[in-house]
Chains A and B, each alone.
Chain A
Amino acid sequence: EAQVTQNPRYLITVTGKKLTVTCSQNMNHEYMSWYRQDPGLGLRQIYYSMNVEVTDKGDVPEGYKVSRKEKRNFPLILESPSPNQTSLYFCASSSGGTQYFGPGTRLLVL
Protein backbone atom coordinates (compact mmCIF):
# COMPACT_ATOMS: atom_id res chain seq x y z
CA GLU A 1 0.00 0.00 0.00
CA ALA A 2 1.31 3.42 -1.00
CA GLN A 3 1.73 5.50 2.11
CA VAL A 4 3.55 8.17 4.06
CA THR A 5 4.27 7.31 7.67
CA GLN A 6 5.21 9.62 10.52
CA ASN A 7 6.48 8.87 14.00
CA PRO A 8 5.63 9.61 16.67
CA ARG A 9 1.97 10.47 16.18
CA TYR A 10 1.76 12.32 19.48
CA LEU A 11 4.56 13.91 21.47
CA ILE A 12 4.72 15.99 24.63
CA THR A 13 8.11 17.50 25.40
CA VAL A 14 9.71 20.37 27.28
CA THR A 15 11.36 23.53 26.03
CA GLY A 16 14.89 22.99 24.78
CA LYS A 17 14.87 19.20 24.54
CA LYS A 18 15.93 18.21 21.04
CA LEU A 19 13.53 16.00 19.14
CA THR A 20 13.17 14.37 15.74
CA VAL A 21 9.98 13.52 13.90
CA THR A 22 10.53 10.85 11.29
CA CYS A 23 8.84 10.66 7.91
CA SER A 24 9.07 7.80 5.45
CA GLN A 25 7.41 7.10 2.10
CA ASN A 26 7.30 3.87 0.09
CA MET A 27 6.43 5.35 -3.32
CA ASN A 28 9.95 6.25 -4.48
CA HIS A 29 8.93 9.90 -4.73
CA GLU A 30 11.59 12.52 -5.27
CA TYR A 31 9.69 15.38 -3.65
CA MET A 32 9.00 15.51 0.10
CA SER A 33 7.84 18.30 2.34
CA TRP A 34 6.99 19.26 5.92
CA TYR A 35 4.06 21.44 6.98
CA ARG A 36 2.65 22.73 10.21
CA GLN A 37 -1.04 23.41 10.71
CA ASP A 38 -2.32 25.90 13.26
CA PRO A 39 -5.88 27.15 13.90
CA GLY A 40 -6.56 30.32 11.95
CA LEU A 41 -3.27 30.09 10.07
CA GLY A 42 -3.85 27.01 7.98
CA LEU A 43 -1.14 24.82 6.51
CA ARG A 44 2.27 26.41 6.17
CA GLN A 45 5.27 24.84 4.52
CA ILE A 46 8.38 24.47 6.69
CA TYR A 47 10.92 22.81 4.39
CA TYR A 48 10.82 20.83 1.21
CA SER A 49 13.19 18.55 -0.66
CA MET A 50 13.26 17.89 -4.37
CA ASN A 51 15.65 14.95 -4.11
CA VAL A 52 18.37 13.38 -1.98
CA GLU A 53 20.66 16.06 -0.53
CA VAL A 54 18.49 18.84 -2.04
CA THR A 55 16.45 20.82 0.49
CA ASP A 56 15.05 24.34 0.62
CA LYS A 57 13.16 26.58 3.01
CA GLY A 58 9.42 27.00 2.88
CA ASP A 59 7.47 29.81 4.53
CA VAL A 60 8.25 29.11 8.21
CA PRO A 61 11.68 27.41 8.50
CA GLU A 62 12.90 29.17 11.66
CA GLY A 63 13.64 26.74 14.48
CA TYR A 64 13.59 23.65 12.26
CA LYS A 65 16.15 21.55 10.43
CA VAL A 66 15.76 18.77 7.89
CA SER A 67 17.97 16.29 6.12
CA ARG A 68 17.49 14.06 3.09
CA LYS A 69 20.14 11.38 3.06
CA GLU A 70 17.91 8.70 1.56
CA LYS A 71 15.09 9.06 -0.93
CA ARG A 72 12.47 7.48 1.33
CA ASN A 73 13.18 9.40 4.55
CA PHE A 74 12.85 13.08 5.43
CA PRO A 75 13.18 13.70 9.18
CA LEU A 76 12.21 17.00 10.82
CA ILE A 77 14.53 18.11 13.61
CA LEU A 78 13.75 20.60 16.35
CA GLU A 79 17.10 21.37 17.97
CA SER A 80 15.67 23.47 20.80
CA PRO A 81 11.87 23.33 20.78
CA SER A 82 9.87 26.25 22.12
CA PRO A 83 6.17 26.52 23.04
CA ASN A 84 5.40 28.38 19.79
CA GLN A 85 6.29 25.18 17.93
CA THR A 86 3.32 23.43 19.48
CA SER A 87 1.38 22.41 16.40
CA LEU A 88 0.11 19.64 14.16
CA TYR A 89 2.81 18.57 11.71
CA PHE A 90 2.34 16.84 8.37
CA CYS A 91 4.86 15.23 6.08
CA ALA A 92 4.03 14.81 2.40
CA SER A 93 5.56 13.29 -0.70
CA SER A 94 4.68 13.67 -4.34
CA SER A 95 5.53 12.83 -7.88
CA GLY A 96 4.05 15.08 -10.52
CA GLY A 97 0.80 16.67 -9.46
CA THR A 98 -0.39 14.32 -6.72
CA GLN A 99 0.75 14.95 -3.17
CA TYR A 100 0.28 12.33 -0.45
CA PHE A 101 0.15 13.42 3.18
CA GLY A 102 1.05 11.48 6.27
CA PRO A 103 -1.33 11.06 9.21
CA GLY A 104 0.17 13.93 11.21
CA THR A 105 2.19 14.37 14.40
CA ARG A 106 0.64 16.38 17.20
CA LEU A 107 3.38 18.10 19.19
CA LEU A 108 3.00 19.90 22.51
CA VAL A 109 6.00 21.82 23.84
CA LEU A 110 5.71 22.80 27.51
Chain B
Amino acid sequence: EDQVTQSPEALRLQEGESSSLNCSYTVSGLRGLFWYRQDPGKGPEFLFTLYSAGEEKEKERLKATLTKKESFLHITAPKPEDSATYLCAVPIGWGYGGSQGNLIFGKGTKLSVKP
Protein backbone atom coordinates (compact mmCIF):
# COMPACT_ATOMS: atom_id res chain seq x y z
CA GLU B 1 0.00 0.00 0.00
CA ASP B 2 1.28 3.45 -0.89
CA GLN B 3 2.05 5.37 2.26
CA VAL B 4 3.80 8.49 3.55
CA THR B 5 4.84 8.70 7.21
CA GLN B 6 6.29 11.74 8.92
CA SER B 7 8.15 11.86 12.21
CA PRO B 8 8.14 13.20 14.78
CA GLU B 9 4.53 14.36 15.02
CA ALA B 10 5.66 17.39 17.01
CA LEU B 11 9.04 18.95 17.64
CA ARG B 12 9.93 21.71 20.07
CA LEU B 13 13.23 23.50 19.59
CA GLN B 14 14.99 26.43 21.14
CA GLU B 15 15.94 29.21 18.79
CA GLY B 16 19.23 28.26 17.15
CA GLU B 17 18.88 24.53 17.91
CA SER B 18 19.24 22.68 14.61
CA SER B 19 17.30 19.49 13.90
CA SER B 20 15.79 17.32 11.17
CA LEU B 21 12.31 16.20 10.20
CA ASN B 22 11.77 12.83 8.55
CA CYS B 23 9.44 11.74 5.75
CA SER B 24 9.48 8.05 4.83
CA TYR B 25 7.51 6.66 1.94
CA THR B 26 6.50 3.38 0.39
CA VAL B 27 5.41 3.93 -3.18
CA SER B 28 6.29 2.05 -6.31
CA GLY B 29 8.28 4.12 -8.75
CA LEU B 30 8.82 7.40 -6.94
CA ARG B 31 8.26 10.30 -9.30
CA GLY B 32 8.96 13.17 -6.96
CA LEU B 33 8.59 14.24 -3.34
CA PHE B 34 7.24 17.60 -2.23
CA TRP B 35 7.73 19.57 0.98
CA TYR B 36 5.25 22.21 2.15
CA ARG B 37 4.92 24.55 5.09
CA GLN B 38 1.51 25.22 6.60
CA ASP B 39 0.65 27.97 9.06
CA PRO B 40 -2.51 27.58 11.20
CA GLY B 41 -5.70 28.21 9.23
CA LYS B 42 -3.85 28.76 5.95
CA GLY B 43 -3.19 26.74 2.83
CA PRO B 44 0.10 24.84 2.49
CA GLU B 45 2.95 26.81 0.97
CA PHE B 46 5.27 25.06 -1.44
CA LEU B 47 8.90 24.69 -0.34
CA PHE B 48 10.74 22.07 -2.41
CA THR B 49 10.42 19.35 -5.00
CA LEU B 50 12.96 16.50 -5.06
CA TYR B 51 13.04 14.03 -7.92
CA SER B 52 15.91 11.59 -7.40
CA ALA B 53 17.93 9.99 -4.61
CA GLY B 54 20.89 12.14 -3.63
CA GLU B 55 19.20 15.38 -4.64
CA GLU B 56 19.37 18.31 -2.21
CA LYS B 57 17.67 21.70 -2.22
CA GLU B 58 18.09 24.68 0.09
CA LYS B 59 16.09 27.72 1.01
CA GLU B 60 17.27 30.02 3.77
CA ARG B 61 17.55 27.84 6.93
CA LEU B 62 15.93 24.80 5.30
CA LYS B 63 17.59 22.01 3.36
CA ALA B 64 15.73 19.04 1.92
CA THR B 65 17.42 15.77 0.99
CA LEU B 66 16.15 12.58 -0.61
CA THR B 67 17.17 8.94 -0.41
CA LYS B 68 15.51 5.90 -1.94
CA LYS B 69 13.25 5.42 1.09
CA GLU B 70 13.00 8.75 2.88
CA SER B 71 13.48 12.47 2.81
CA PHE B 72 14.80 14.79 5.47
CA LEU B 73 14.08 18.43 6.07
CA HIS B 74 17.04 19.89 7.94
CA ILE B 75 16.49 23.12 9.83
CA THR B 76 19.65 25.01 10.70
CA ALA B 77 19.60 27.58 13.52
CA PRO B 78 15.81 27.93 13.46
CA LYS B 79 13.99 31.11 14.40
CA PRO B 80 10.53 31.50 15.97
CA GLU B 81 9.12 32.43 12.55
CA ASP B 82 9.98 28.92 11.34
CA SER B 83 7.24 27.57 13.63
CA ALA B 84 4.67 25.81 11.44
CA THR B 85 3.53 22.39 10.36
CA TYR B 86 5.73 20.85 7.69
CA LEU B 87 4.13 18.44 5.25
CA CYS B 88 5.60 16.10 2.72
CA ALA B 89 3.71 14.57 -0.20
CA VAL B 90 4.28 12.00 -2.90
CA PRO B 91 2.42 11.60 -6.21
CA ILE B 92 0.98 8.26 -7.18
CA GLY B 93 1.10 8.02 -10.91
CA TRP B 94 2.20 10.90 -13.05
CA GLY B 95 0.08 12.77 -15.52
CA TYR B 96 1.19 14.08 -18.88
CA GLY B 97 3.06 17.36 -19.04
CA GLY B 98 4.51 17.02 -15.57
CA SER B 99 1.25 17.32 -13.61
CA GLN B 100 1.00 15.36 -10.42
CA GLY B 101 -2.02 13.08 -10.45
CA ASN B 102 -3.10 11.58 -7.17
CA LEU B 103 -1.07 13.11 -4.32
CA ILE B 104 -0.64 11.49 -0.88
CA PHE B 105 0.34 13.70 2.07
CA GLY B 106 1.95 12.72 5.34
CA LYS B 107 0.23 13.93 8.52
CA GLY B 108 2.90 16.51 9.11
CA THR B 109 5.38 17.55 11.78
CA LYS B 110 4.34 20.47 13.94
CA LEU B 111 7.44 22.51 14.67
CA SER B 112 7.58 25.02 17.53
CA VAL B 113 10.64 27.22 17.95
CA LYS B 114 10.92 29.06 21.25
CA PRO B 115 12.92 32.29 21.52
Spell out A's residues near B (CB within 8 Å): 4, 30-31, 33, 35, 40-45, 48, 50, 56, 58-59, 90, 92, 94-104
Contact = CB atoms under 8 A, between A and B. Distances in A.
B26 to A, nearest CB: 15
Contact of B43 (A31, A41, A104): A104
Contact of B107 (A41, A48, A102): A41
Interface string B79-107: 00000000101000001111111111111
A99 B107 contact: no
A28 to B, nearest CB: 13
Which range contains the number of B residues in contact with the other chain? 20 to 34
Contact of A45 (B34, B41, B51, B102): B102
A93 to B, nearest CB: 10
A103 to B, nearest CB: 6
Given A99-B46, A101-B44, A103-B43, A43 B99 contact: no
Interface of B: 32, 34, 36, 41-46, 49, 51, 87, 89, 95-108
A11 to B, nearest CB: 15
Contacts of A50: 95-97, 99, 101
Contacts of A42: 87, 105-108
B99 A31 contact: yes
Contact of A104 (B32, B34, B41, B89): B41
Contacts of B46: 98-100
B59 to A, nearest CB: 13
Given A90-B43, A98-B49, A101-B44, A48 B102 contact: yes
